[in-house]
């Protein structure tokens, strides 16, 4: 057996049980390890889906340019599909993203423009605004806009949700995912709740993001927006892909707990993953310990990407000490 291209290997990622980190919890906690995708992240699923849907709708012609704002992983998914399909790529990202992510995008032939993090979303310098402007200026270009593109949510409704349902033989009771663009949590939750409406969906947010307060009060509070280091989760906008009607609880996790848990996943579980994975697992464990989670319950947590993106940050002792997350003498 062989695959006709690397794109055919996207999806069908494994579920792995958490052992040491969850040894005080009665029920079963499984993690869905998305770095088994060829681009080493969950975003491979939406990169391919958004391009295929754009082709069907005539939104991009052969030889065109794909332009997107990304924290890195969606860019990788888009770049993989673009390299097979013959498109050019221009990505905008923020200066808080790891250099490793930017280098990986350039290795796949993409042009990367780094924009400031600490500006309003509608500021012309923001990575959202720069991507939108370039898509208007460059002919035969396509701006997927993962935040509001329904293909993002649909990719997870068609793949991630059914995989979890089949892999757990329908026994999943809780689903946990980080909240970024909203596609992963919303699309997967929609499918799972259609199979069993009793399944609880828990969203994991970052301290410094607007999501938790918005979920709890319906208020978009700019005062909640603060700088944070965990990449890929939390927002300073409310994307249309983020459907709070499909979420039952939101746990907010600070940088220190997210990144220390990321290191523990490598050391204690052999799972070499990124910072949003640590946030998701920390949030999942907090929820399981503080809610009615019993021996018959089965929780699935999405681990979005690989630790290879963060060697210069999370897995660098000097950087972690500079942030005050570990003792510099350790």
Check: CB of residue 307 under 8 Å from CB of residue 287: no
Q: Nearest to residue 79, comparing CAs of 40, 39, 52?
A: 39
> Catalytic: 101?
no
Q: Please tell me the distance from the alpha carbon of residue 246 to that of residue 238, in angstroms, as a whole number.
A: 15
For 44, residues 6+ apart whose C-beta sits below 8 A from its C-beta are 10, 37, 38, 76, 77, 80
Check: CB of residue 204 under 8 Å from CB of residue 176: yes
Residues facing 299 on adjacent strands: 29, 174
Residue written as token pair 């059914």:
162
Alpha-carbon radius of gyration of the chain: 19
* 118-123 long-range contacts, CB within 8 A, separation 24+: 118/227, 120/236, 121/236, 121/237
Dig out the tokens for 283 from the structure: 């949030």
Q: Please tell me the distance from the alpha carbon of residue 262 to that of residue 275, in angstroms, as a whole number.
A: 6
Q: Which of 43, 101, 132, 193 is catalytic?
A: 43
Catalytic residues: 43
């Amino acid at each position: 057996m062989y695959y006709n291209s690397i794109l055919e290997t996207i999806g069908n990622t494994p579920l792995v049980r958490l052992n040491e980190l969850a040894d005080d919890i009665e029920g079963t906690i499984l993690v869905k390890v998305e770095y088994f995708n060829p681009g080493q992240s969950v975003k491979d699923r939406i990169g391919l889906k958004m391009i295929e849907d754009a082709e069907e709708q005539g939104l991009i012609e052969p030889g065109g340019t794909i332009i997107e704002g990304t924290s890195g992983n969606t860019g990788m998914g888009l770049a993989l599909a673009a390299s097979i399909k013959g498109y050019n790529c221009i990505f905008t990202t923020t200066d808080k993203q790891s250099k490793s992510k930017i280098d990986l995008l350039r290795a796949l032939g993409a042009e990367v423009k780094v924009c400031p993090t600490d500006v309003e979303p509608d500021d012309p310098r923001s990575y959202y605004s720069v991507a939108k402007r370039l898509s208007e200026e460059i002919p035969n270009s396509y701006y997927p806009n993962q935040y509001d593109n329904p293909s993002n949510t649909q990719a997870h409704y068609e793949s991630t949700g059914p995989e979890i349902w089949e892999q757990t033989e329908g026994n999943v009771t809780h689903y946990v995912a980080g909240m970024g663009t909203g596609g992963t949590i919303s699309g997967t939750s929609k499918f799972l709740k259609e199979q069993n409406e009793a399944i609880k969906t828990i969203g994991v947010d970052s301290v410094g993001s607007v999501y938790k307060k918005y979920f709890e009060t319906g208020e978009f509070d700019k005062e909640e927006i603060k700088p944070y280091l965990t990449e890929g989760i939390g927002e300073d906008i409310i994307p249309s892909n983020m459907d709070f009607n499909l979420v039952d609880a939101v746990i907010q996790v600070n940088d220190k707990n997210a990144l220390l848990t990321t290191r523990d996943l490598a050391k204690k579980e052999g799972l070499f993953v990124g910072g949003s994975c640590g946030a998701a697992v920390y949030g999942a464990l907090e929820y399981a310990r503080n809610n009615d989670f019993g021996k018959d319950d089965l929780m699935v947590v999405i681990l979005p990407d690989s630790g290879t993106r963060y060697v210069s940050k999370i897995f660098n002792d000097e950087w972690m000490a500079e942030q005050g997350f570990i003792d510099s003498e350790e």
